[in-house]
Structure 1
Amino acid sequence: MPTNTHPLAAAARAASVPIVGDIELFAQARAALPPHRVVGITGTNGKSTTTALIHHLLDTAGVPARMGGNIGLPILAQAPLPEGGVYVLELSSYQIDLTQTLDCDVAVLLNVTPDHLDRYAGFEDYAASKARLFAMQSPRHRAVIGTGDAASAAIAQGFAHRGETITTIAPGTPLDQSRWPSLQGPHNAQNALAAIVVAEALGLDRAAIEAGLETFNGLPHRMERVATLGGVTWIDDSKATNPESAAPALAAFPRVHWILGGRAKGDDLDACAPHFGNVVRAYTIGEAGPRFAALLRDRVPVDEAETLEHAVRIAAAEARRGEVVLLSPAAASFDQFRDYEHRGTVFRTAVEALA
Structure 2
Amino acid sequence: MDISVVVPLLNEAESLPELTEWIARVMAQHSFSYEVLLIDDGSTDESWNVINQLNQGNPAIHGIKFRRNYGKSAALNTGFEAAQGNVIITMDADLQDSPDEIPELYRRITVEKFDLVSGWKAKRYDPLSKTIPTKLFNAATRKMSGINNLHDFNCGLKAYRKAVVKNIEVYGEMHRYIPVLAKWAGFSKIDEQIVEHRARKYGSTKFGMSRFVNGFLDLLSIFFVGKFGKRPMHFFGSLGVLSFLTGIIMAIWIIVEKQVDIANHQKYRDATDHPLFYIGLVAILLGAQLFLSGFIAELVSRSAVDRNKYQIEETI
TM-score (norm 2): 0.27
Give the number of the structure whose residues are more often helix, by fraction.
2
* Greater RCO, 1 or 2 (C-alpha within 8 Å, sep 6+): 2
Give the number of the structure whose residues are more often strand, by fraction.
1
Q: Which is greater in Rg?
A: 2
TM-score (norm 1): 0.25
